[in-house]
Chains A and B, each alone.
Chain A
Amino acid sequence: MIVIDAVLQGILMGLLFALVALGLTIIFGVMNIVNFAHGEFLMVGMYTAYWTSLLLHVDPLITLPASVAVGMLLGLASYYWLVKYLLRGPMVAQLFGTFGLMLFLRYLAQFLFGTDYRIVQKGLLVGKTLSLGLFRFDWTKTAAAMLSLLAFLFVHYLLHRTKLGKALRATALNKEAASYMGIRTERMNALAWAIGGGTVGVAGGLLVNFWYVYPTVGLLFVMIAFASVALGGFGSIQGAFFAGVLIGIIEMLFPVFGHLIGSDFLGPHFKFTVVYFAYFVIVVLRPQGLFGWKH
């Protein structure tokens, strides 16, 4: 009973993890670059939703488009002002470049908003629970999971059913060949960053309904996203989806497991440690991930 409940809660959380991982995996798939600032993009999305809903007195679910727009702009700005130049350098420079961006955004947030923990207090769904038979779900989490599923389907449609998506996938497969076919790969890179920023912006807007936002919130989520992306295979979108959900389940099931066997050591304070450890084991044993197609 408690196990089934944990699994269901884990799926809800996992859908959101998957949405965070989606942007990371698209950017990696298209241009082979790991965006360390991804967690900070999430934080920006969270702050956007928080402030717009607070200042405009509307529900944070209505301000989601604002989070999307800010996320996309942030993605585009990062690409044109920073990543474009980083691409010329070696991998070390790319890692540290996006790392610098991460620190910059984090401390910008600290500078502007201070280190307070903030959460949306009022809203249509905040504090309400949904009872389904024996199970009870927070409405905020349920709505977030539904909407992130929707966002996922939308991106999937965009990539697999439109011409633009086809061009993007072609760029990911072979940049040179794509440019011979008349695809402007530079624009496709920018598009990848816009989609990446936009999806993580949505995730931020959804997350702030039930998670505190503070300047360093990104680290935890970016590590979870790395784990999801590695588990699913770098660059794989279906992979990121299933891996995100799986990690959500692991994260919820682990404390229950510790509780059931009566071990103090396997408590909830280690639930994210398990995620990091899982990443390590997975990449060592199966470097291409569960659904990976490229290294």
Chain B
Amino acid sequence: MEALRDAFDFRDFSKAERIGLVLFTIFLLIFPWLGAGSFVKVVVIQFLLFSLFGMGWNTIGGYGGQVELGKAQYVGLGAYTVSLMMVWWSIPFWVSMPIGVGIAVGYSFIIGYPLFRLKGHYFAIATICTSLVLQDIFINWKLVGAAKGIELPIREHPDFLYMQFKSDTYYFYFIMALFYTAIFYMNWFRKSKLGYQLRMIKDDEEAAESLGIDARWCKIKAYSIASAFVAVGGGFLAVYNLYIDPYSVMDLDLSIKIALMAMLGGAGSMWGPIIGAAFLVPLDRFLGSWLGGQKGLIGIDFMIYSALIMVVSAYQPRGFWGIIEQFRRKSA
């Protein structure tokens, strides 16, 4: 009960933040009726999805301060579980998605146990390695479609059980529901015991251990929470795109994007991942469609994107949220 109260309690945020959240919620609720084009709808759905990923990453990467660059493997596990169960046994989404999350969490414990013996750069590179190994296995594994990927069978009629709809609006509300679940969860998480323990570990691991905190076990727990988040997102990705392959759901680029959005927005803050996704997803998409499509300009969208990454990491490592807080402190 207390956990629920904590989750819905936003009193310790400033007034501006609370008003912002309410306005944002209203905007999202009426968004499908604003007459936006299908492209904009796709961008907003992507934004919500990446915010979900980013909030997941934020548990281990932001609050825990561990540079984790292998989240794509859990997106893949979630997406593959949903797709394969649908293709092989036509199991509904609502059954296969929790199983996918369970597999991702179980796998994250197996991987996390040796992984969290490592720190710093070693850890960061090791997470990339585990993700690449899993991707290579899926690329070559004929049973799960190998490099060709899997197409999900399309139902004749829109079907809630299998999460197949004709209009993007339904997907939009579904991902929005997931997004708000994540927000409430994170609001609880940052005030939970684990949340405090993680922040202490981030500041000074030795001091935390001397106070009796089992740092490794805390990190493993946070890592599996993060994995559960992205596995849910992965399941959504499968039913939304109706097609997955190892390159689209397990690629290193995806892992990097997840961590990057959270980092650029402001790791370890409540709104950071959302701000990061709100900024980078549209930037990525619009630059891609304006510049990427034109002849002779291939790659220029990513150049702008990466230049921005370099500038922000050089001048304000705490991301956009860090800039906002700096500004706020000056004016106060």
Contact = CB atoms under 8 A, between A and B. Distances in A.
B133 interface: yes
A95 B124 contact: yes
A96 B132 contact: no
Contacts of A284: 114-115, 117-118, 126
Interface stretch (A64-72, A101-109, A124-132, A141-149): A101-109
Contacts of B306: 100-104, 107
Given A219-B252, A283-B118, A284-B118, A104 B307 contact: yes
Contacts of A279: 125-126, 129
A97 B126 contact: no
Contacts of B310: 82, 97, 100-101, 104
A234 interface: yes
Interface string A109-131: 11100110000000000000000
Contacts of A114: 298
Interface in B33-86: 61, 65, 67, 69
A226 B129 CA distance: 10
Chain A binding surface SS class: helix
Contact of B126 (A28, A111, A283): A283
Contact of B314 (A85, A95, A270, A273): A85
Given A219-B252, A269-B140, A273-B132, A234 B314 contact: no
A287 B122 contact: yes
Classify chain B: how many residues form its interface, as a range: 35 or more
Contact of B317 (A89, A109, A219): A89
B73 to A, nearest CB: 12
A284 B128 CA distance: 14
Contact of B67 (A91, A227, A269): A91
Contacts of B264: 96
A279 B130 CA distance: 9
B259 to A, nearest CB: 8
Contacts of A219: 252
A287 B120 CA distance: 11
B240 interface: no
B95 interface: no
Contact of B309 (A28, A89, A96, A215): A96
A107 to B, nearest CB: 4
A23 to B, nearest CB: 16
A181 interface: no
A273 B121 CA distance: 20
Interface of A: 28, 34, 82, 85-86, 89-97, 99-104, 106-111, 114-115, 215, 219, 223, 226-227, 230, 234, 267, 269-270, 272-273, 276-277, 279-280, 283-284, 287
Interface of B: 61, 65, 67, 69, 114-115, 117-118, 120-122, 124-126, 128-130, 132-133, 136-137, 139-140, 252, 256, 259-260, 263-264, 267, 297-300, 302-303, 305-310, 313-315, 317
Rank and list the top 8 A-B pairs by shortest CB-CB distance, nearest first. A100-B309, A93-B317, A89-B317, A103-B306, A110-B299, A107-B299, A85-B314, A100-B310
